Amino acid sequence: MDKRDYYEVMGLSKDATADDIKKAYRQLAKKYHPDLHPGDKECEEKFKELNEANEILSDPDKRAKYDQFGHAAFDPSSGAGAGGGASGFEGFSGGFGGFDDIIGSIFSGFGFGGGSGSQRRNASMKGEDIRLYVDLTLEEAAFGCHKDINVTKTLPCDQCAGTGSKSKTKAKCANCGGTGYQRRVTNSFLGQMVREVPCDNCGGKGFTITDPCGACSGRGIVRKTVKVSADFPKGINEGQSLKKSGQGNVGINGGQNGDLYLSVRIKPNSQFTRKDFDIYQTIYLTYPQLVLGTVVKVAGLDQMFDVKIPEGTPSGKEFRIAGRGVPVLNSKNQRGDMYVTVQVVIPSKLNDSQKAILREFDDATDRILSTDKQADPKKGFFGKFKK
Ligand SMILES: [Zn+2]
Ligand SMILES: [Zn+2]
């Protein structure tokens, strides 16, 4: 499939300013965010395409390359090679964060603009983000819940306070003076070339450890499973994430920690189906109950309530009970609605006297087929049999 022009994707002209790009991105990201269109594959694709276009156009270097070479600039097979380019979007394929949450994190660099290829080894780097799935019951997600979650992540070693040294001392590398780099002079047919390469002595870290810590083998970092407590707010839904800032993997060389994303999955429920903040269920009634009308007790999410079935209710009719659905996320008292569909039960085993009564009823009512609308003898399927 041919790729669309990035400017076209973002609805911009070639002379768009950095501000125009930022604005267009915010606007379109809100428009196509998958949380607003659950299950809509087309929107998901548009969102991905938008992110890709934004990554290129919001970076002056990449944008210049794109203006010159088009998509070929980022096609690894073409050799124009901008490196990285459009490949960094996998983070968005599985499970999206809550809307506010993800909008915030887009701009803080989640999955974007890593561009660490040319970074010095002793430069500080943000730790990696961690994404975990958490299975909640429908009720837990509806009313909110507290969970302690085991998270395996990298942490500073507590034996050596993250220094990697038994005595907690790091000596500045004598070879490179702590920069982590050394100059190397090579002679080639082009003449003498001076390059900066990682320091031989310290491997680019800028310091040396003479007494490596036994607990972390001198790395200063250990991998551990820790309990993270998380409060899932009422109304949270499948595919939304809770962001725990700074609870991901430890930052490198003093960089900030990564973030932890807890993506919600909802366990199947035998009674209810949830759609956004509304809840659906089916109840089963007898033919006389539907014909004569009744009041039935129905189990809601958190309490029993009465549903009035009027006389002559057809099977399959849906009743909307306002405010009995799932509490709305981030709202105080608002709740979605409950939809109750009534379904007639057809008994399969009747005894002789019961059958006799039913036949008598059928004769007495002259075989009325439920409502007049359905049984209009002048037209339709049933009419043909009556004549
Ligand atoms: Zn060194
Ligand atoms: Zn240690």
Per-residue pLDDT of the chain (387 residues; tens, 9 = 90+): 578 889 999 998 888 888 889 889 888 888 888 777 777 888 888 888 998 899 889 888 888 888 877 887 776 554 433 333 333 333 333 333 334 343 333 333 333 333 333 445 567 789 999 999 999 999 999 999 999 999 999 999 999 988 889 998 888 888 888 888 888 887 777 777 788 888 888 888 888 888 999 999 888 899 999 999 999 999 999 999 999 999 999 998 788 999 999 999 999 999 999 999 999 999 999 999 999 999 999 999 999 999 999 999 999 999 999 999 999 998 888 999 999 999 999 999 999 999 999 999 888 887 665 445 454 545 444 444 443
**pLDDT for position 136:** 96
Please tell me the distance between residue 182's alpha carbon and the centre of ligand 2 in angstroms.
27
**pLDDT for position 374:** 52
**pLDDT for position 29:** 85
Q: Which residues are bridge partners to 226 per DSSP?
A: 151
**pLDDT for position 1:** 52
Helix, strand counts (H, E) of the chain: 9, 15
Please tell me the distance between residue 251's alpha carbon and the centre of ligand 2 in angstroms.
15
The full set of domains in the chain, from first to last, is: 1-115 (1.10.287.110), 273-386 (2.60.260.20)
Residues 6+ apart with CB under 8 A from 369: 375, 382
Write 170-174 long-range contacts (CB < 8 A, 24+). 170/207, 170/208, 170/209, 171/207, 171/208, 171/209, 171/210, 172/206, 172/207, 173/199, 173/201, 173/202, 173/205, 173/206, 173/207, 173/208, 174/201, 174/208
**pLDDT for position 120:** 54
pTM reported for the whole predicted model: 0.57
Question: Six-digit token pair at 73?
Answer: 């600039």
**pLDDT for position 183:** 84
The residues placing their C-beta within 5 Å of ligand 1, an ion, are 173, 175-176, 199, 201-202
Please tell me the distance between residue 203's alpha carbon and the centre of ligand 1 in angstroms.
6
Please tell me the distance between residue 167's alpha carbon and the centre of ligand 2 in angstroms.
10
Please tell me the distance between residue 222's alpha carbon and the centre of ligand 2 in angstroms.
7
**pLDDT for position 312:** 93
